[in-house]
Amino acid sequence: MTAMEGAMPTNARYGRVLLKISGEALMGNREYGLDPEIVARVADEVHSVVGMGVEVCLVIGGGNIFRGVSGAATGMERATADYMGMLATVINALAMQSALERRGVQTRVQSAIPMASVCEPYIRRRAVRHMEKGRVVIFGAGTGNPFFTTDTAAALRASEMGCDALLKGTKVDGVYSADPNKDPSAQRFETLTHLEVLAKDLQVMDASAISLARENKIPILVFSIHTAGAFAEVMAGRGKFTIITEEG
């Protein structure tokens, strides 16, 4: 079952969601680039959620190929470095498109930087229409502007698409007060408000993304993308995740 026109999910908490994952999440144990097994596993996760009747769109970072901030740190002009990072996200988007389509999931890549030979330009109304037809839309090239992260791009696209929730797939099963892999005493949060995330300076997403989600009343659900079946579990209201809402 796919989220065709007029269809409503029967066993999911949200009808339309945006999934944000980092480029590093696709590296596996490699130092850079893409791990085909990880890409395939994430595609399986998305496929299962589409099967629940949910309309899904994605934003994937580019840090596994090139990070604009890192490039700027080596002396490269920040705007140039950021544009290179945006191009890296399109590479990841095309890889994910290929993996999804091998599973029979109709997918479209839309780039904020036009590159007509490989994908569609970002057009909001067209993206919405694709999702209404049950297609997964992957947004590449961030916002199309330097100095903005893919986290901010995710919050922006989630707002533009009218998403019911923004899901952040990370290496851990929620939001912690510190990195639990480095600090065993790190506190895990079940629920938070957008303002608490900003006040506590929790490194979930950058401040611009959190503020944009808050302004548009979009809850953020943080879960482990590395746990098999976690995406579908979260969509069904089960499993381990932290939810960030306006009210808490």
**245 marked as part of a ligand binding site:** no
**248 marked as part of a ligand binding site:** no
**145 marked as part of a ligand binding site:** yes
**193 marked as part of a ligand binding site:** no
**66 marked as part of a ligand binding site:** no
**20 marked as part of a ligand binding site:** yes
**21 marked as part of a ligand binding site:** yes
| Residue 228 region by backbone torsions, left for phi larger than 0, else alpha for psi between -120 and 50, else beta | beta
Supply the angle between the helices 78-102 and 36-50 in degrees, to the nearest 10.
70
**169 marked as part of a ligand binding site:** no
**143 marked as part of a ligand binding site:** yes
Within 10 angstroms of residue 210's Cβ, the number of other Cβ atoms is: 24
**74 marked as part of a ligand binding site:** no
| Mode of pairing for the β-strands spanning 107-111 and 120-121 | parallel
**36 marked as part of a ligand binding site:** no
**147 marked as part of a ligand binding site:** yes
Burial 68-81 (b: 16+ CB within 10 A, else e): beebbeeeeeeeeb
**170 marked as part of a ligand binding site:** yes
Q: Which residues pair with 165 in a beta bridge?
A: 17
- CA 95, distance to chain mean position in Å, is 15
- For the beta sheet containing 107-111, the strands, ordered from the edge strand earlier in sequence to the opposite edge, are 120-121, 107-111, 136-140, 55-60, 16-21, 165-170, 220-224, 242-245, 191-193
Annotated binding site for UMP: 62, 82, 143-150
What residue numbers does the annotated binding site cover? 20-23, 62-63, 67, 82, 143-150, 170, 176, 179
Q: Which residues are annotated as a binding site for ATP?
A: 20-23, 63, 67, 170, 176, 179
